[in-house]
Amino acid sequence: MRPLRSSAIGWRLGGGPGAVAAALTAGRGGCGAVRARLGAMWTEVSTAAAFITGLLRAAGGIGEEQLRCFRECLQEALLEHYKHHWFPLVPSKGSGYRCIRINHQMDPLIGKAAEVIGLSHEKLFQLLPSELTLWVDPFEVSYRIGEDGSICVLYESPQPGGITMKTYPNCFWLVDHRIIEYSNPPAMGRDTSH
């Protein structure tokens, strides 16, 4: 496998399984250290990256190793992009900055991660919705496909102050890195068997 390069991201990747993870965590004490350093942001960022990766997987034509590389590169790009724009005490602050947007123009962070695995913007437009908005905020990750689509929540966590989880009908949910549509999804994180 030839080395992949993205000068925009500044990574030189190559080799077999684990090369991307090693490159992303080099000098930082491994994945666990990155997660500990970034705290709660890790869950929201990994949810967003897994959702975009799931859309690419559903479209087909991209191998699992490329998808894994894309997801890891997108996670790292998002973590870097958000590191000074994450406000858990005021979750809506910086929401526009953290928004991932495809609206007949490719979001630059998705585009940079795709370049690492050799996907052009043209190919991304064939694989992803032409209009997608993904909000990555402290305690919540939500998305909308199309300008008039419903806003659906992928991840929601209780906020300080006792805000609780809700259910959202007719939305896609991320379950074990698979995108599943429920006509009436169960409350995530709750035992609904009682």
Domain containing residue 18: 4-182
Say if 34 falls within a structural domain.
yes
CATH number, position 117: 3.90.640.90
pLDDT tens digits, one per residue of 103-143:
989 999 999 999 999 999 999 999 999 999 999 999 999 99
- pLDDT, greater one: 29 or 73: 73
pLDDT given for residue 171 in this prediction: 52
pLDDT given for residue 116 in this prediction: 95
Say if 190 falls within a structural domain.
no
State the DSSP code for 37.
H
pTM (2 d.p.): 0.68
pLDDT given for residue 29 in this prediction: 40
Please, which residues bridge with residue 142 across strands? 135, 153
Contacts of 150 (CB under 8 A, 6+ apart): 144, 168, 170, 171
Work out the pLDDT band at 162, boundaries 50, 70, 90.
Answer: low
How many structural domains does the chain have? 1
- pLDDT, greater one: 56 or 28: 56
Say if 188 falls within a structural domain.
no
Say if 193 falls within a structural domain.
no
Residue 114: both structure tokens together? 């795709």
Using CB atoms within 10 A of its CB, is residue 105 exposed (0-12), middle (13-18) or buried (19+)? Answer: exposed
Residue type at 127 in one-letter notation: L
Say if 187 falls within a structural domain.
no
Work out the pLDDT band at 159, boundaries 50, 70, 90.
Answer: confident
Q: What is the mean pLDDT of the chain?
A: 74
